[in-house]
Amino acid sequence: MAKEVPKIATFEEFWPYYLNEHSKPKTRWIHFIGTTLAVVMLIVTLITQNWWLILITLVSGYGPAWYAHFFTEKNRPATFTYPFWSLAADFKMWFLMLTGRLR
């Protein structure tokens, strides 16, 4: 049975929920790699102005993340319920990991 997703009204409430849904270090690292690939692909897309590369950008970001949820964390990606907060939290987690500040 799938776990019920809580009703969340603010990003401040969402952040602890997001971290709990990414509790395994392997999940966080797979997300970090996917987000890094997406950032690189976005830069390449902007430089080359080859707008079809946006598709690769999306797949390189979401593909590894969703893989981590289904096969490592064994939960449903927060993106399905909270797409914008999830994207913001992905980048917050990425930045905190990049700077060594994620506990």
How far apart CA 62 and CA 64 sit, in angstroms, is 6
pLDDT tens digits for range 1-46:
456 777 999 999 999 999 999 999 999 999 999 999 999 999 999 9
Q: How far apart are CA 65 and CA 29, in angstroms?
A: 9
Mean per-residue pLDDT, 92-102: 96
Q: Are 22 and 28 in contact (CB under 8 A)?
A: yes
- pTM value is 0.89
Whole-number average pLDDT of the chain: 94
DSSP-derived 3-state class of residue 34? helix
Outline where 22-82 has alpha helix (H). 25-48, 53-67
Give residue-wise pLDDT tens across range 82-96.
999 999 999 999 999
User: How do the domains of the chain map onto residue ranges?
Assistant: 24-98
For position 5, what pLDDT does the model report? 73
pLDDT of residue 1: 45
